[in-house]
Amino acid sequence: MEYKVSIALLHTQLASGTLTCVQHVQQYLTNIQANTHLNAFLEVFEAEALERAAYLDELWQQGTHLPLHGVVVGLKDVISYQGHKLSAASKILENFTAVYSATAVERLLQAGAIIIGRQNCDEFAMGGSNENSAFGKVLNALDNNRVPGGSSGGSAVSVQANLCQISLGTDTGGSVRQPADFCGIVGVKPTYGRISRHGLLAYASSFDQIGIFSHTVQDAALVLETIAGADNFDSTALPSAVPPYSQYLHDTQLQAKRFAYFKQSFEHPSLDTHIKQQFEQLFNDLRRQGYTVEAVDFPLLPYVVPTYYVLTTAEASSNLSRYDGVKFGYVHTQAIQSLDEFYKQNRSNGFGKEVKRRIMLGNFVLSAGYFDAYYTKAQQVRQLLHTQTQAIFEQFDAIISPTVPTPAFPFGEKSASPIDMFLADIFTVHANLVGIPGISVPKYTHISGMPFGIQVFTNKEKEAELLATAAFFEQL
C-alpha cells in the first residue's frame, strides 16, 4: 500500500533507470488487486495501461520526456474516455461506451499520462458519501466502516490507498474537496470554466467543474497546468492563458497574507468542537506570524445549501431528461403498452433513489406555480452571494475554513436523512455557487483518528495564489 510516488520522484527514477513506466503501473495494479474490497474502481484497464507504459518507456529511452510522462491517472466514471464504458455509476448507463474523450483526458494523454481505470462514485455525482452508487459503496481505506466522502469517493480512495497516482473527479458542490478531506489528501476545484467540461457528463452545468486529487499540492499544480485552458468544444471554458502554477508554489508574493473567515461558520452548530479548536489555534498561529486573520459577517451562510439544492436539481432535471431509453440508456424489456409507459419504466428502473429524488425536486422548483418562489429566488441569492464574495476579496486575499464540519462519518449515519446529508456541504457549495476556486489541504488528525484539512478559497482565476497558499499550509 505504501507506494507513494510524486510526479517529480517518478521522473527522477525514470531518468536514473531505477524505475520503468511498466514497473510503475505494475505497482498500482498490485495495490488495486490487494484492495478490491474498497470498491474504488468500476473497471481497471490493466492490459491497456501496461501496453501504454511500455510505449512510454520506449519514448523515454529515445529522449522524449513529456510533462506527465508515465503518471498513472484514474478517472471518475463521469468523464469520457473514448472506447471505454462510461456509466456515471448508474444502471441507466451501464452499457454505454464513450464515443469521444473529454478534453481533460485528451490533454492528459498528450502529456504522457496513463489512464488506469474508471472509478466508482455517487450516481451522476449526486451525493456526499458514495452510498448512492448503483455498483456498491466505496470504503474509506483508513477506516472501512466510514464513508470516503462523495461524490468522487472512488477517485479519492484510489489516491489515498495508492491505487493510482492522480485522480480526476468532479466538483459541483464539493465532490472533490469533501472526499479529499475525508481521505487525507489534496483536492482542488479550479475556477468555473478553468478546465473544459467537454466530455463530462453534466449534473448541474453552471456548477460542474473537473477537479484533481493528489498527495501533494505540487502534483495537483502540475496536472492542473496541463489540462486547464481554452477549448473550442466548451464555450464556458475560460480563454485566459494558464500560468505554470507548479513553478509559483513557493512565491511568497502570491501566498495569501490577509485571511477572512466567516463568523457564522464558526458559530454553526454542526461544526465539530475538535475541528473548531484546531482552527482557533491555527488562526492564532497565523496571527503570531504576522498574517491578518479576521472574522467577517456572512449572514447568507444558512442560505447556501438551500440555494445550491434548488438550482442544481433544476439543472439536473433538465440535463438528465436525455436518459429515456431512446436517445440513451437502459431499456426496460417487459411488455409495454404505451410510449408514456415505456419512458416511465426506463427511467423508474434505470435511475436510483437519490437521482429520482433530485429530478422530481428540480421539476418541482421549475414548475409554473413555484418557479418564482424557488428558482427565481435562488438565482437572486446566488447573485447576492456573488456580490458579497467580491466585496470580501476587495479586503482579503483568501477565505479559510474547515472543508467539512465533521470528519468522515460511519456508513448509514446520514443516509436516512437527505437534509443531514445536504447540510454536510455547507462549507463547500459556496465556491460553486459563485464560481471561485477552492482547495482542501490535508493537515490534521481528528480524535476519531480520521483526517481533516484546511479549505482555502481565492478569487476567480487566482489559482496561482490558491495553490501557493495551499503549499504554504502543507508545509506549516
Give the one residue of 126, 157, 304, 436 binding ligand GLN; rule: CB under 6 A.
Answer: 126
Q: How far is the CB of 424 from ligand GLN (least distance, A)?
A: 7
Give the one residue of 175, 246, 403, 469 binding ligand GLN; rule: CB under 6 A.
Answer: 175
What residues are annotated to the active site? 76, 151, 175
Residues contacting 155, CB < 8 A, separation 6+: 40, 74, 75, 76, 119, 121, 167, 168, 169, 176, 179, 213
425 touches ligand GLN by CB under 6 A = yes
Give the one residue of 77, 171, 219, 461 binding ligand GLN; rule: CB under 6 A.
Answer: 171
131 touches ligand GLN by CB under 6 A = no
Give the one residue of 151, 162, 319, 346 binding ligand GLN; rule: CB under 6 A.
Answer: 151
Cell numbers for 313, please give them. 436539481
Residue 400 sits at φ, ψ, to 5 deg, of -125, 145
Asked whether 49 and 58 are in contact (CB, 8 A), the reply is no
Task: Tell me which residue has cell 501496461.
Answer: 50
Residue nearer to ligand GLN on the CB measure, 35 or 403: 403
Residue nearer to ligand GLN on the CB measure, 227 or 431: 431
Q: How far is the CB of 129 from ligand GLN (least distance, A)?
A: 8
Residue type, 149: G
128 touches ligand GLN by CB under 6 A = yes
Asked whether 128 and 424 are in contact (CB, 8 A), the reply is yes
Residues contacting 434, CB < 8 A, separation 6+: 382, 385, 386, 389
Residues contacting 32, CB < 8 A, separation 6+: 40, 41, 44, 116, 117, 163
Q: How far is the CB of 127 from ligand GLN (least distance, A)?
A: 5
Of 149, 153, 7, residue with least CA distance to 89: 153
Binding mask 198-237 for ligand GLN (x = CB under 6 A): -----x----------------------------------
Binding mask 387-416 for ligand GLN (x = CB under 6 A): ------------------------------
Residue nearer to ligand GLN on the CB measure, 255 or 440: 440
Q: What angle do CA 261, 265, 270 make, to 5 degrees?
A: 150
Q: How far is the CB of 309 from ligand GLN (least distance, A)?
A: 7
Minimal CB distance to ligand GLN: which residue? Answer: 175
Asked whether 304 and 429 are in contact (CB, 8 A), the reply is yes
Task: Tell me how far CA of residue 448 lies from CA of 101, 145, 240, 377, 410, in angstroms.
Answer: 41, 12, 43, 40, 11
By CB under 6 A, the residues from 285 to 314 that bind ligand GLN are 312
Q: How far is the CB of 240 from ligand GLN (least distance, A)?
A: 24
Q: Which chain residues interact with ligand GLN by CB under 6 A?
A: 125-128, 151, 170-175, 203, 312, 425
